[in-house]
Structure 1
Amino acid sequence: MSAFASFFRPVGTTPGLPPLTTARAGALFLDDRGAATAEYAIATMAAAAFAGLLVVIMRSDEVRGILTDLVRRALTVQ
């Protein structure tokens, strides 16, 4: 048997695994344990990417000058 044929066996013919019934499919695919952990991981990666983008933007001379000027104007008494 080729590797392709052994990978694409019909459901229920894999040795050692029970056949995929409607009840078993529901138990396997409707279980959302770990979903919150995955959502936190994705949100953490997005926050890290956004922080990296802010670091790149804040290191530019134009932005540094704008922020310095803003702080000087805020601290100057007229």
Structure 2
Amino acid sequence: MDRARQLGVQWTLTARTRREAGMSTAEYAVGTIAACGFAALLFKVVTSGEVQEMLSALIQKALNLAG
């Protein structure tokens, strides 16, 4: 048996005998919802007035130091 075929058979056997190898659809859904919630929270924080002022001051300071 050539090497490529042997590796293919080995991979197939490993894939068939492996349990819980990845996330299921429900786990993907929960992960996606959590990521969206975190993104919304981060967006809310970054667009708040205080954070925008701090970011503007930081950028202004960096630009003043650069030139």
The TM tier, using the shorter chain, reads: 0.5 to 0.7
- Per-residue deviation, residues 2-40 of structure 1 (Å, max 9, x unmatched): xxxxxxxxxxxxxxxxxxxxxxxxxxxxxx7xx511111
Uncovered stretches (5+) of structure 1, i.e. residues with no partner: 1-31
Uncovered stretches (5+) of structure 2, i.e. residues with no partner: 1-19
Report the CA distance between 1:54 and its aligned residue. 1.1
State TM-score, norm by structure 1: 0.50
Q: Percent identity?
A: 42
Number of residue-to-residue matches in the alignment: 45
The structure that has the greater radius of gyration is 1
State TM-score, norm by structure 2: 0.57
Partner Cα distance (1:38, 1:67) in 2: 38
Residue of structure 2 in register with 1:74 after alignment = 62
CA RMSD of aligned residues (A): 1.8
